[in-house]
């Protein structure tokens, strides 16, 4: 069973450099799968990124960041990694 891993999802800190083929290609291909009440739930990294961009805008307006893109990217990676870990733990139950 695949959990949506695309290459290595470990953060390397090089967020300013998009992957070959563009950042959007790898984001769209990445997803986390959950089994909820016998049904599969697929959470796309692209969907997480869209929401994080909205929160980054709010954070900028509140004075929490000056760099919406970096804030959004970090938030997307953190949420996606947390969901991957939760999915792995669910598969062991």
The model's pTM: 0.64
Q: Give the model confidence (pLDDT) of 17-40 as tens digits.
A: 444 455 555 544 689 988 888 888
CA-CA distance, 33 to 79, in Å (whole number)? 14
Does residue 38 form part of some domain?
Answer: yes
Does residue 77 form part of some domain?
Answer: yes
pLDDT of residue 24: 52
Does residue 85 form part of some domain?
Answer: yes
Which residues have CB under 8 Å from 41's CB, separation 6+? 33, 34, 35
Domain count, the chain: 1
Q: Are 32 and 43 in contact (CB under 8 A)?
A: yes
Q: In terms of residue numbers, what domain contains 71?
A: 23-92
Does residue 12 form part of some domain?
Answer: no
Does residue 88 form part of some domain?
Answer: yes
Does residue 72 form part of some domain?
Answer: yes
Token look-up 């070959």 returns: 20
């Amino acid at each position: 069973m695949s959990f949506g891993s695309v290459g290595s999802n470990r953060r390397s800190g090089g967020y300013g450099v998009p992957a070959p083929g563009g950042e959007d290609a790898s984001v769209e291909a990445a997803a986390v799968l959950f089994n909820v009440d016998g049904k599969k739930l697929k959470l796309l990294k692209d969907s997480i990124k869209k929401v994080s961009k909205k929160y980054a805008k709010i954070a900028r307006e509140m004075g929490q960041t000056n760099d919406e893109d970096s804030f959004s990217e970090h938030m997307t990676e953190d949420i996606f990694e947390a969901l991957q870990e939760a999915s792995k733990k669910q598969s062991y139950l």
